[in-house]
């Protein structure tokens, strides 16, 4: 099967069959509940466990539908991967990350947002966890329907906060943690956007702005691939494998550097050979980033599965532990069947409902080519590494989407700046008495020049401006030339609004569900 993007392939096999996708999802949710009730060992209340397992499966499906888009969306949008190829790769690596590196113990309270010791009895704790899980899943489902990529971690944090406060009052919450989460609404996208934009600017200055792009690519692309290997190896060791093999940052970075150095010397002759057969244009340079993008999508999916599966199975494991021991615990062992519900559920959700958000992330914010998508992937890995070492709270969803906005706004700025300079050149060439042919020649020189030559041309323009000031009409023309927008503002507003209301929305919903569950338990 060809996993690269085929222009004729615009959908997956189940596209257009909404009712079939819903039925498959419902079947998985029900099977998870039945399996839990049939295999719960030493559980005091199998019906509660079955309901919790069904809700956990529902949450996992929604994580797959919404959150995984950030890992593969840029690769699909840049046409490095087809939709089907992206779903296959992400589903395999998400499930592998969850099952291989998801760990066997999980914290029952996500991010320490509430104090479990403030919840008096196991039954109340079970209702808190169940309400948090269901509220987080419902909010993710709604966000996916609206086409807004949101943080699954923030969804479950909001759920735990809302049900926890409903159960134990305002004093139960760790408000310092909540303030840190609110700060991440700004920290994550800004860091991701700045790092992605810096990488894109470096690629433009070092490759695509050169007269001989192929020669520049031979030198720079192996360095970028080596940097990618270092970043993703460090990211994977620190985040994806931390529950199997916990290392400090320095050790992880040194191991990753050794891997990156090996890859650099291995990849350099391959890039030389591939580049030698390419045309000297941007599309050809873009093709050199196809394989790195595919690899990055796989590694991001593995790390995401290892980390974010806890959003689905953490509360479920907590409920299982409370039913087993009759007590509230800060840590809970994860039985294999619970890990399978999370890992397989994420893969099922991605396959059934993932294309909607993959398209949103990959193509509905700004146009992505392979170099831009590569910069977004680099930003995702590097931002997590930097933030984890600085102790800053970040969201992988916010980082990836922020990276896409970052490259989009940089493109917009550079495009506007370029067109303004071009319009100014044309205006002054004409005002200096040049005929059409002379003006076209001047423009041709500018468009084909590299960075240093463009500076020389602009110096000529500056000298001409002193002798021939720009008129009011010309200023209006230049202003009009700079108004092209390459980032969809409607997408920016929709996504930002969804980010801001995720925690309060899931918290309010969770509190309401908790009171309903509590009323149900009292009436029994």
What does the pLDDT look like over 80-92, one tens digit per residue?
Answer: 999 999 999 998 9
- CA dist., res. 325 & res. 452, Å (int): 71
- CA dist., res. 318 & res. 311, Å (int): 12
**What's the pLDDT score for residue 433?**
54
Residue 258 lies in a domain: no
Q: How far is CA 323 from CA 41, 279, 319, 340, in A?
A: 10, 65, 6, 19
**What's the pLDDT score for residue 43?**
74
Confidence band for 449, pLDDT divided at 50, 70 and 90:
low
Confidence band for 53, pLDDT divided at 50, 70 and 90:
very high
423 or 160, greater pLDDT: 160
**What's the structural domain count of the chain?**
1
- CA dist., res. 63 & res. 66, Å (int): 5
The distance between the two most distant Cα atoms of the chain, rounded to a whole number of Å, is 92
Residue 41 lies in a domain: yes
pTM value?
A: 0.84
Confidence band for 427, pLDDT divided at 50, 70 and 90:
low
Helix (H, G, I), strand (E, B), or coil: what is residue 114?
Answer: strand
pLDDT, one tens digit per residue, over 59-72 is: 999 999 998 888 89
Tokens encoding 141: 């489902």
129: closest CA among 338, 428, 406, 283? 338
How far is CA 346 from its chain centroid? 15
**What's the pLDDT score for residue 194?**
96
Whether the predicted pLDDT of 432 surpasses 60: no
**What's the pLDDT score for residue 111?**
61
pLDDT, one tens digit per residue, over 104-131 is: 666 666 667 888 778 878 889 999 999 9
Share of the chain above pLDDT 70, in %: 81
pLDDT, one tens digit per residue, over 321-337 is: 888 888 887 788 888 88
Residue 259 lies in a domain: no
DSSP label at 210?
S
Q: Is 209 exposed, middle or buried (0-12, 13-18, 19+ CB in 10 A)?
A: middle
The single residue listed with the structure tokens 């299982």 is: 320
268: closest CA among 310, 299, 229? 229
Whether the predicted pLDDT of 246 surpasses 50: yes
Q: Is 187 left (phi over 0), alpha (psi -120 to 50) or beta?
A: alpha
161: closest CA among 497, 508, 501? 508
Residue 376 lies in a domain: yes
Average pLDDT over residues 279-306: 89
Least confident of 12-26, 165-179, 348-362, 494-508: 12-26
Write out the residue range of the structural domain in which residue 355 sits. 17-212+280-411+487-522
**What's the pLDDT score for residue 369?**
92
Helix (H, G, I), strand (E, B), or coil: what is residue 376?
Answer: helix
Q: Is 415 exposed, middle or buried (0-12, 13-18, 19+ CB in 10 A)?
A: middle
Whether the predicted pLDDT of 170 surpasses 60: yes
What DSSP string describes 146-208? Answer: HT----HHHHHHHHHHHHHHHHH-GGGB-HHHHHHHHHHHHHHHHHHHHHHHHHHHHHIIIII
pLDDT, one tens digit per residue, over 171-206 is: 898 888 888 888 888 888 999 999 999 999 999 999
Q: 332 near 41, Cβ under 8 Å? A: no
- CA dist., res. 285 & res. 278, Å (int): 8
**What's the pLDDT score for residue 96?**
86
Q: What are phi and psi of 7, to 5 degrees?
A: -55, -30
**What's the pLDDT score for residue 165?**
93
- The sign one gets for the Cα dihedral 156, 165, 502, 517 is positive
Residue 501 lies in a domain: yes
Residue 314 lies in a domain: yes
Whether the predicted pLDDT of 9 surpasses 50: no
Mean pLDDT of the chain: 83
Confidence band for 19, pLDDT divided at 50, 70 and 90:
confident
Residue 175 lies in a domain: yes
pLDDT, one tens digit per residue, over 361-413 is: 988 889 999 999 999 999 988 988 888 777 777 788 899 999 999 999 998 88
Q: Which residues contact 209 (CB under 8 A, 6 or more apart)?
A: 450, 451
Tokens encoding 200: 């894109």
Tokens encoding 66: 């919404």
Whether the predicted pLDDT of 414 surpasses 50: yes
Residue 503 lies in a domain: yes
């Amino acid at each position: 099967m060809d996993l690269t993007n085929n222009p004729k392939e615009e959908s997956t096999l189940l596209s257009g069959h909404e009712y079939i996708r819903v039925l498959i999802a419902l079947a998985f949710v029900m099977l998870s509940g039945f399996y839990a009730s049939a295999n719960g060992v030493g559980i005091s209340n199998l019906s509660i466990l079955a309901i919790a397992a069904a809700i956990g499966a529902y949450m996992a499906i929604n994580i797959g539908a919404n959150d995984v888009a950030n890992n593969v969306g840029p690769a699909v949008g840049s046409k490095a991967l087809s939709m089907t190829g992206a779903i296959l790769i992400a589903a395999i690596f998400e499930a592998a990350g969850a099952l291989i590196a998801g760990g066997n113990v999980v914290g029952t309270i996500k991010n320490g947002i509430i104090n479990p010791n403030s919840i008096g009895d196991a039954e109340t704790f079970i209702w808190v966890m169940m309400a948090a899980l269901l509220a987080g899943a419902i909010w993710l489902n709604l966000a996916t329907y609206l086409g807004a990529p949101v943080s699954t971690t923030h969804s479950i944090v909001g759920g735990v906060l809302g049900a926890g406060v409903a159960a134990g009052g305002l004093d139960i919450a760790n408000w310092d943690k909540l303030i840190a989460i609110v700060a991440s609404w700004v920290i994550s996208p800004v860091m991701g956007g700045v790092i992605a934009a810096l990488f894109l600017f470096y690629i433009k200055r070092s490759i695509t702005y050169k007269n001989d792009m192929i020669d520049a690519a031979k030198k720079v692309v192996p360095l970028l691939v080596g940097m990618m290997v270092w970043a993703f190896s460090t990211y994977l060791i620190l985040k994806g494998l931390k529950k199997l093999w916990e290392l400090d940052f320095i050790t992880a970075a040194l191991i990753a550097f050794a891997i990156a150095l090996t890859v650099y010397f291995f990849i350099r002759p391959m890039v030389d050979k591939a580049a030698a057969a390419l045309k000297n244009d941007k599309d050809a340079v873009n093709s050199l980033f196809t394989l790195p993008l595919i690899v990055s999508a796989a590694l991001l999916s593995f790390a995401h599965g290892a980390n974010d599966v806890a959003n689905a199975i953490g509360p479920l494991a907590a409920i299982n532990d409370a039913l087993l021991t009759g007590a509230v615990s800060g840590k809970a062992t994860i039985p294999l069947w619970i890990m399978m519900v999370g890992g397989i559920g994420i893969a099922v959700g991605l396959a059934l409902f993932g294309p909607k958000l993959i398209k949103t992330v990959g193509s509905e914010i700004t146009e992505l080519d392979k170099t831009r998508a590569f910069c977004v992937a680099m930003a995702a890995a590097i931002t997590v590494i930097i933030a984890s070492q600085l102790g800053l709270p970040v969201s992988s969803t916010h980082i990836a989407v922020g990276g896409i906005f970052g490259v989009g706004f940089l493109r917009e700025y550079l495009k506007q700046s370029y067109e303004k300079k071009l319009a100014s050149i044309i205006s002054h060439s004409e005002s200096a008495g040049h005929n059409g042919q002379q003006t076209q020649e001047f423009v041709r020189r500018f468009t084909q020049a590299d960075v240093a030559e463009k500076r020389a041309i602009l110096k000529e323009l500056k000298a001409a401006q002193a002798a021939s000031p720009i008129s009011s009409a010309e200023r209006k023309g230049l202003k009009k030339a700079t108004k092209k927008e390459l980032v969809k503002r409607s997408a920016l507003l929709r996504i930002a609004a969804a980010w801001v209301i995720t925690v309060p929305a899931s918290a309010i919903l969770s509190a309401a569900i908790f009171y309903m569950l509590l009323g149900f338990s009292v009436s029994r």
